[in-house]
Amino acid sequence: MDGLANSCQSRVPLQSDGEDVRLPYGITEDDRLAHVTEVASGLACGCRCPGCGERLVARRGANKVHHFAHHVHRACAGAWETTLHRLAKEAVLEAREILLPKAVAKVGDLSADVAAATMFIYEASEAEVDLGDLRPDAVITGRGRQLLLEFHVSHPCGSEKIARLRTRNLATVEIDLPRVPRLLPRGEHVEQILRTAPRHWLHNAKVAAEEDRLRLIAERMTELEQRRRNRLYGRIADEVAAAWREPTRRGHRGWLTRAADAGFGEFTGVPMPGDRCFAFDAATWQAAFVFYAVVAAAGHTFTAENALSYLQRQGMLKEPFKLRRNWEPELEAHLRERVGGFRSPIEVIADYATWLAERGVVERTQTGWRADHERGWEAKARIDVAEAARKRETDLRAKVIFLLKVAQLPTRLAEPWMDRVLPGFGESPRALAQAGSDCFENVLRRLRELERMAWAGGAPVSGDLLGLPLEELRRTRQAEANARQETQRRIREDFQAQTRERRRKESSDFVDALLAEAALFMGEVDGLAWVEHAVRGGGGTTFDEGRLGLDRVMQERIKGALDDERRRIELIRHVETSRHGEEAAMTVETLRCRQELETRALRHFSGNADKSRLWLRTTQPALGRSPWTHAVDERRRDECLRLLDAALPKGKRR
């Protein structure tokens, strides 16, 4: 590298290695623009710099892109631009066709294509033509049309010049060359100038006409838009004006309470001019604002817009003011005319925030306002404590009122009770609720117990009534409870008496039936004697006493005994009435055998008379007949007994 030429400055750093101004063209001794490839190497090229006129050396080594460099190192600015400008003029003068750009009319957002890009063929061309107040780089003429060309190398055409072109209606194209690469062969440079470099119309009569048309359309559209907006603003203004006149209401008391709890009550309720955009009175919207500024946004900068959206979410704004966050200047102007004293919510909020800043509640920051974080935290804590205390008080009052209602006492007693010192607690219920100690929990627990007593049918409680007028209620509940106990005792006694009476009746009925049955086969007198004996024998009492006091077991036993007696009497009678002695003896033997068999069978089947009878009367295959028929003498009776022993006493095992 040649150290002598390496600090020459270039305005176009493209393709520069930073140490040298590398030029593709030099001026020959006969004042031609020569490409480095067209001359001899080194100083022998005989070329001078197109910018400064100093001698150049042609560098045509094997390893680099060929170029010229200054022979003597010097600051040379603008050599390439001068070269390119001259090259462009030469190229246009030598050529006979050039690419014209697409023609597009553009007004604001509207645009229309007027003509496509096209090759312009020309017969005549001239450089640096003097047109009075204009001196275009080149003028070309083809098919009777004259076209001006401007080559933009470092500075594009200025607006003043463009205005002159328009006034004189001279069709002009500007070709933008700053991005043309420097070290290219001459042919490619020419191609860039004539075709490929970007180009555009500075003035084109058709485009101008189309733009006039578009401008008219745009104006019409703007006018329509303006009219539409005016109508809209008119409507909004009507609504706003109506809302402006609406009276403000008192807001929810919670806001005021909260501001007071937080310790900012004195900063609310300040008259702020133009605050009729708010649905609620100054005290309410300002309480909401202070809560937002000091608690919700504590430690953060907020803008009037931030505060406004908070207030809007809390329903603080009248309906028409909710619609827009930003008030367009035209709309505002419109409103100021229509509505006396109108101010946008943002302005009012900003005024109030400034007022608060003057009193140190918030501080002014670059973009808005901010409340100290610590201060917000303390305010929040104060609110929480106060709200918890208030909730306890409300709960307590609700409980007492409920209790009074249930006890059918006037609920107005609740409020004085809240303030009376509770015996045993040393404080009024309200004070206890405010403090929220264990004592308060005890009061609540006691109230719940008293509540249980309040309901009709509830259980009376003993002890402390918390100073509530529930003595009479307790007496009533106690009397009710006593009455309930008494009733239950009476019912129980009645039931016992009835049971006793029923048993006596059963016993007496049994004895009557027994007498009737006994009288049937013993006769009245013997029957009565037998029954009297049996009944008295049971309890060792008199007949009249025993007659009413026989229990079930006793009755069964007596009934069994009577059956045995009847069978005995029947047997005797049978024997007595038998005409033939032998027959009678046999019959007696038969009867006795059968009776014995019957007794055994009954025992065998554990006293189940039905089973016993069934076995006796059913034909047994081993006997060929029923045991009853078979057992006419002792031998046959024993056969039957053996059979009986073998028979399974069914049912007993179950």
Stretch that binds Zn ion, among 45-53, 145-153, 321-329, 425-433 (CB under 5 A): 45-53
Minimum CB distance to Zn ion, residue 17 (Å): 17
List 27, 36, 79, 514, residue binding Zn ion (CB under 5 A): 79
Minimum CB distance to Zn ion, residue 90 (Å): 19
Chain centroid to Cα 587, Å, comes to 105
Q: Which is nearer to Zn ion, 47 or 207 (CB)?
A: 47
Pairing of strands 145-152, 172-176: parallel
Q: Which is nearer to Zn ion, 81 or 281 (CB)?
A: 81
Minimum CB distance to Zn ion, residue 104 (Å): 40
Chain centroid to Cα 131, Å, comes to 77
Q: Where are the alpha helices (DSSP H) in 95-179?
A: 159-167
56 is a contact residue toward Zn ion (CB under 5 A): no
Minimum CB distance to Zn ion, residue 181 (Å): 20
List 39, 47, 49, 350, residue binding Zn ion (CB under 5 A): 49
76 is a contact residue toward Zn ion (CB under 5 A): yes
Stretch that binds Zn ion, among 74-82, 124-132, 186-194, 470-478 (CB under 5 A): 74-82
51 is a contact residue toward Zn ion (CB under 5 A): yes
Q: Which is nearer to Zn ion, 51 or 345 (CB)?
A: 51
Secondary structure (DSSP) of 23-83: BSEEE-TTS-EEEGGGS-SBGGG--B-TTT--BEEEE--SSS--EEEESS-----SHHHHH
Q: Which is nearer to Zn ion, 43 or 520 (CB)?
A: 43
Q: Which is nearer to Zn ion, 55 or 636 (CB)?
A: 55
Stretch that binds Zn ion, among 42-50, 99-107, 244-252, 386-394 (CB under 5 A): 42-50
Contact between residue 610 and residue 604 where contact means Cβ atoms under 8 Å apart: no
Minimum CB distance to Zn ion, residue 26 (Å): 10
Minimum CB distance to Zn ion, residue 79 (Å): 4
- Gap between the Cα atoms of 609 and 631, Å rounded: 19
Minimum CB distance to Zn ion, residue 101 (Å): 33
Q: Which is nearer to Zn ion, 27 or 379 (CB)?
A: 27
Q: Which is nearer to Zn ion, 79 or 454 (CB)?
A: 79
Q: Which is nearer to Zn ion, 77 or 95 (CB)?
A: 77
Minimum CB distance to Zn ion, residue 7 (Å): 13
- Gap between the Cα atoms of 273 and 250, Å rounded: 18
Contact between residue 470 and residue 407 where contact means Cβ atoms under 8 Å apart: yes
First to last CA, the chain: 130
575 is a contact residue toward Zn ion (CB under 5 A): no
Any idea what DSSP says for residue 460?
A: P
CA distances for 13 relative to 27, 52, 84, angstroms: 21, 18, 14
Minimum CB distance to Zn ion, residue 154 (Å): 16
Number of residues that bind Zn ion (CB under 5 A): 5
Specify the amino acid at residue 521.
Answer: F
Pairing of strands 199-203, 172-176: antiparallel
Q: Which residues of 7-29 are buried (b: 16+ CB within 10 A; e: fewer)?
A: ebebebeeebeeebbbbbbbbee
List 4, 15, 38, 52, residue binding Zn ion (CB under 5 A): 52
Q: Facing residues of 48 across strands? A: 27, 55
Q: What are phi and psi of 68, to 5 degrees?
A: -95, 150
Q: What are phi and psi of 176, to 5 degrees?
A: -90, 115
Q: Which is nearer to Zn ion, 49 or 640 (CB)?
A: 49
Stretch that binds Zn ion, among 46-54, 119-127, 342-350, 642-650 (CB under 5 A): 46-54
Measured over the CA atoms of residue 497, residue 499, residue 501 and residue 507, the dihedral's sign is: negative
Minimum CB distance to Zn ion, residue 63 (Å): 24
The interface mask with Zn ion, positions 276-295, x = CB under 5 A, is --------------------
Q: Which is nearer to Zn ion, 73 or 382 (CB)?
A: 73
Contacting positions for Zn ion (CB under 5 A): 49, 51-52, 76, 79
